[in-house]
Amino acid sequence: MKFKGFIFLQLVIVFYLNSPAQHLLSGDEFIKPTSYQAYLQLALKNNLLLMAEKYKVEEAEAAISLARIFPNPEITMGNASGDITRQNLLQQFYEGITQTIVRPNKFKQGIKVAKAQYKLQQILFEDYLRLFKLDLTKRYVNALLAKLAYEKDKKTNELLQGELQKLKIDTNESKVELYRIKIETAQTLAQLYQSEEIYKMAVYDLYLPLSFYHRGTVIGPYGNLHLPLRKFNLDSIVPIALDNRTDVLIAKQQKMLTQEHLNLAKTNRRKDFEIQIGNNSYTRATNLIAPTPPYQAITALFTFQLPFSNLKKQDLRIAELDLKRASFELSQTQTAIQIEIAQSYDRHLTAEQQLSIYSSGLLEMTDKVFEEELEIYKSGKSNFLDLTESQRKRDEIYHNYLDALRTYVFSKMELEDDLGIWDIDF
């Protein structure tokens, strides 16, 4: 029974070594290494939603041209007095042109509103691009960390399998001890499968911002996350952030746009007028009562509205309330930014301290301890279960390091994003 249990354990190992899932993400023919900058440029070039946002900017730019267009003139032609009684009466044929004259201030103000809207749309696109880059970078970091975790678990599994294949189980080995070995090996294998699945999902997740997917060639991250430590002087950077962050610029531009709308509401209270010039052609009248020879006459008309609607000033009140609302929103945005920066700064300091625990030599010490345990095992002074326990502790520390590294990188990205700067690269 003990021998059959050992054979079963070996079959599990052989099955795993020939598993196609193992080959899916480890074969070079399936993975196309892609650097962070290459992935970023690929996403900026192909993302459909980003293209849609660019169209909004172009639409706002086209609106400026529309605002510069004067009202079209109107042509009027027709018979103004048809002789339906057949009394040979005078008939009038009219040809005329009518032009609406827009008040100069109103025309200029309409262009200003269109330009302010265009500037706002540009800033909105920059803000969308900022969030897009942040999302891309987090996806890439997650994929890269998942790859590192998978490779670490793979090496662990290969090491334990190699030692297990060398293991000679004594016929006097207890059945319980054999089961414990099988359990430890199965747990290591399960951890590897889990890491592989997380890695695959992270790789597939990279494709969503690319707006395309080719199953034959899968892109994969490579590199490291050893970002240089950067010290931030909040006293000098916060004022810059309050002037340069896109959400602040959006709030400022929205306030400016509401001011232009208020100016437009004021100018719209001055009504437009029309000028009409026409030619009247009268035919000859041959009736006995009022015979008239044919003749031409010129018509010149000036039309304007009586501004009774200006007695109601709700249009101005609405525009003024919009301006006050935009002012409050700007103040709230500036206050919220200072709080966000303080929170991000504290999170970054904590994450930096946590990462320093591992980067100050803990990983190296853990490796040395395991190497000593491996030598003791090879010398026959410890058993296989002791080796797996030491390896589990080593892997636990390494995975905790990767979690701390993710927290640090994310905190650095979020802090720089809150400050309105970006120099992330790896």
Cα three-residue angle 300-302-307, rounded to 5 degrees: 170
DSSP H or E stretch at residue 99? strand 92-101
Q: What span, in angstroms and rounded, lies between the C-alpha atoms of 40 and 53?
A: 17
Query: Which pLDDT belongs to residue 255?
Result: 95
Residue 348: C-alpha distances to residues 231, 269, 343, 354, 411 (Å): 10, 54, 9, 10, 5
Residue 289: pLDDT above 80? no
SS3 325: helix
Structure-token pair, residue 60: 């706002």
Structure-derived torsion over alpha carbons of residues 14, 19, 23, 24, reported in degrees to the nearest 10: -160
Q: What is the pLDDT of residues 368-401, one digit of tens each?
A: 888 888 888 777 787 778 888 888 888 899 999 9
User: In this structure, which amino acid lies at residue 111?
Assistant: I
Decide: 209 and 22 in contact? Cβ < 8 Å.
no
SS3 298: strand
User: In this structure, which amino acid lies at residue 160?
Assistant: L
Average pLDDT, the chain: 83
Q: Provide the angle, in degrees to the nearest 10, between the axes of the packed helices 384-419 and 104-166.
A: 170
Q: What span, in angstroms and rounded, lies between the C-alpha atoms of 98 and 309?
A: 24
Query: Which pLDDT belongs to residue 159?
Result: 82
Residue 301: pLDDT above 70? yes
Q: What span, in angstroms and rounded, lies between the C-alpha atoms of 171 and 4?
A: 11
Burial of 15 (0-12, 13-18, 19+ CB in 10 A): exposed
Q: What is the pLDDT of residues 4-27, one digit of tens each?
A: 444 444 434 443 433 433 444 444
Structure-token pair, residue 10: 């070996």
Decide: 119 and 253 in contact? Cβ < 8 Å.
yes
Query: Max CA-CA distance within the chain?
Result: 144
Neighbour order of strands in the sheet with 295-304: 74-79, 92-101, 273-282, 295-304
- Indicate the pLDDT class of residue 173, thresholds 50, 70 and 90: low
User: Can you name the CATH fold of 2-69+102-271+307-419?
Assistant: Outer membrane efflux proteins (OEP) (1.20.1600)
Domains of the chain, residue spans: 2-69+102-271+307-419, 71-101+272-306
Q: What span, in angstroms and rounded, lies between the C-alpha atoms of 53 and 124?
A: 9
